[in-house]
Structure 1
């Protein structure tokens, strides 16, 4: 969990800069607090009882498990934010178009839809602020303005979906024999990196299945014993999670060297 969380933060900061610290904190702190509090209040397993709330025991094990679960979920969100930053619709179509063009198109549209809705909502909010500039909104008026923003966003999205459907039909989407243009080609370097990812992932999964780094929370918190296999498991997982950062830094160094050579 420490490797997974720290490497996710490192890669997010590398991709987005210092502003990633604020966005990561906004994702991590509320998620960890919510899951840890929720698990503590509704799970009463564990031998170490700290105190009681309405005759319900609050245990150290439940708090510990909630904190770990919160960090796990928050780290997954951070890694997906990195994924959303580096993987675009063209890459999704390239990966899935040969397997299923419909599936690839569906995934690329879903990944595009969330940031598009956020951008549109920001534009709508800016327009509403200009319309009601200088007027303080409270209570029901503020709620009414918020509902109006959602209504505008819904109408805008529906109109845009109709335009997208007409545009796709005009370009022959779904017709037999239609080819697709892709910008990417599979190279030996890509094959090597895929093989390395699969190998590191397989080794990490093997050690996880065999329980070499298994931590027990109930009925008592027990940390895994420090063994050679456990260290190797963490080392391979560290290589797997640092691979994106190392690859990007190596590519940037290579690019700068080529620029200085020119």
Structure 2
């Protein structure tokens, strides 16, 4: 059994999951405060390890690479700030530019990690259920989510087929690699168009009706309601603290925390920790029930 099958949070009500991920995405990109973005990255990585185990090491390596590249890029090309590290001719390299680059890389990494978790937790059935008030939009969105891994696998098949036709010889020049990439993309677009036509004809032949009444296996429990209310409360409270200037962090021209709300910080960390906490609570319940037997 894979770890994803044992994840309790992914089995909860779709409304809770959509509410949680939307709030996490918005908080991660809108707070402009590294003190709040760092927990989003840390708890996202922890939850990633819970879901994927050692396979999450690749995600951690990618995270470190993104932070390094973004921070280095900002450090080289941005020259604001007052804390001079060194100077080459007339070009100043400051600590503030390096710090802001690390912050940008952390924010981008956190967003990508949570988006990856979102794509693994949310399937087409949940999308159709949440957006059942707009069935056509729900169908398109669910199909897009399904096409992404499907097209990635198909692109790999196209590359392998091309390598087979070339006797396994890899492209030796940039021009040849670019030409091969264009040919692979052209083949993938042709496949996607043919696949969309086949899917459309198949749905029409089977009598697809977006307004038909559908059975749903999801039921909102008390725990779903409580956690959804908690998620919305944390989001509203933290955004209010942001708008009212209670969690202001200055990174130019100096780095300092102008205002800080410890309550907003604790609640934000609790929100990012929520999926892990749900899984840990379920694991504790399971072990207690096993001991009673």
Paired position in structure 1 for 2:146: 112
Paired position in structure 2 for 1:81: 116
> Are the aligned partners of 2:86 and 2:92 in contact in 1 as well (CA < 8 Å)?
yes
What is the total number of aligned residue pairs between the two structures?
Answer: 256
Q: Is 1:43 paired with 2:78? A: yes
> Are the aligned partners of 2:72 and 2:98 in contact in 1 as well (CA < 8 Å)?
yes
> Are the aligned partners of 1:90 and 1:182 in contact in 2 as well (CA < 8 Å)?
no
Shift of 1:3: 1.1
Change (3 A) 1:261 1:46: same
Q: Is 1:244 paired with 2:275? A: yes
Q: For structure 1, which segment, 238-247 or 141-150, has the greater mean C-alpha deviation from structure 2 after superposition? A: 141-150
Q: Is 1:234 paired with 2:270? A: no
Q: Is 1:7 paired with 2:30? A: no
Aligned pair partner of 2:132 in 97, 119, 125: 97
- Structure 2: which 5+ residue stretches go unaligned? 1-36
Paired position in structure 1 for 2:239: 205
Q: Is 1:21 paired with 2:57? A: yes
> Are the aligned partners of 2:163 and 2:169 in contact in 1 as well (CA < 8 Å)?
no
Change (3 A) 1:250 1:124: farther
Paired position in structure 2 for 1:186: 220
> Are the aligned partners of 2:158 and 2:184 in contact in 1 as well (CA < 8 Å)?
yes
- Structure 1: which 5+ residue stretches go unaligned? none
Indicate the structure whose relative CO is greater, using CA pairs within 8 Å and at least 6 residues apart.
Answer: 2
Match runs of 1:118-137 below 5 Å: 118-133=152-167, 135=169, 137=171
Aligned pair partner of 2:68 in 22, 33, 36: 33
Paired position in structure 1 for 2:229: 195
> Are the aligned partners of 1:24 and 1:78 in contact in 2 as well (CA < 8 Å)?
no
> Are the aligned partners of 1:89 and 1:109 in contact in 2 as well (CA < 8 Å)?
yes
Distance 1:43 1:204 in 2: 30
Change (3 A) 1:128 1:182: farther
Distance 1:180 1:85 in 2: 24
Shift of 1:57: 2.6
Deviation by residue 1:87-124 (Cα, 9 ceiling, x = unmatched): 111111111112x1122222222222222221112222
Alpha-carbon RMSD: 2.8
Shift of 1:253: 5.0
Change (3 A) 1:101 1:137: same
Distance 2:140 2:88 in 1: 47
Shift of 1:257: 6.9
Q: For structure 1, which segment, 130-139 or 76-85, has the greater mean C-alpha deviation from structure 2 after superposition? A: 130-139
> Are the aligned partners of 2:67 and 2:105 in contact in 1 as well (CA < 8 Å)?
yes
Report the TM-score, using the length of structure 1 for normalisation: 0.84
> Are the aligned partners of 1:89 and 1:112 in contact in 2 as well (CA < 8 Å)?
yes
Shift of 1:221: 0.8
